[in-house]
Amino acid sequence: MIKTIAVDMDGTFLNSSNDYNREEFLELFNKLKNKGVNFVVASGNQYAQISSFFPEIWREITFVSENGGLVFENGNLLIKNTIGNSIIQEVLRVLENTSYGVDIILCGVESAYILKTGTDEFKDNAAKYYFKLKEIDSFQQLPDDEWVKIALHLDDKNAFSLIEMMNSNNDSKLKAVYSGHESVDLIANNINKGNTLSQLLNQWEIKPEQFLAFGDSNNDLEMLELAGYSYSMGNAGEQATLVAKYQAPSNDENGVISTINSLIDELG
């Protein structure tokens, strides 16, 4: 029986209009709660942003944010996986010397940070995904925070070249993963959605074969590999489709909610 469900947000739970069928999901969520099934949102985005999509029930959902860097349960920080200042500074120096035209968001526990010199377009886009966002003069001196991720925005034509460059560098302290929407995340080598969800399942005494996960992109691969029931979306990238055991309808076809409803007898 399925005891825990985890969903990615962008391209998975959310449709192309950046929303979901709220009435239908609230009805489904109450069914999950009555059956004792944990509902987890697992995203590369910031906790303040992803929790805002669930105004009525956010305290009843567990949020794995920042690609596994931070976990919040009942509104409280439960798990924190941070990256040291020296590593962050070293990687920032590498990024500042690339020719890929990279916009940088430095993601901390308390806030995310961008440069004041960024374009208005970049700042507006960053604000959509980071509700706690501060502008700073320089990355030379880091703000007083703890670090969970470096998020990059760049053209897709350059994204995979940068990923290859970062991941082929034996001295690179962070792993680069494509998260869709012209975005690349730099995360600690041992931190990802799958590893952090494995920690949660252990705490809850739930086996991977009792775990259902939905994803669409490369930052979902470890989570899909972990789950006994793993679904890629109809709109998913090639690697997510290869890793997942099953395929759900696309995010614009209400794929997550319809698939969970079809498995309702397997829940609890």
Active site amino acids? 8
Q: How far apart are CA 14 and CA 113, in angstroms?
A: 25
Return the beta strands (E) in the chain as ranges. 4-7, 38-42, 62-65, 70-73, 76-80, 103-108, 112-115, 133-136, 147-153, 174-180, 183-188, 211-215, 229-233, 246-248
Q: Give exposure, 205-244, as e/b (b: 16+ Cβ within 10 Å).
A: eeebebbbbbbbbbbbbbbbebbebbbbbebbbeebeebb
Per this entry, what is the length of the chain? 268
Enter the tokens of residue 78: 């439960």
Q: Which residues pair with 183 in a beta bridge?
A: 153, 180
| Token pair 């916009």 in the structure block, residue | 103
Q: What are the CA-CA distances from residue 54 to residues 57, 111, 136, 216 (Å)?
A: 6, 20, 30, 21
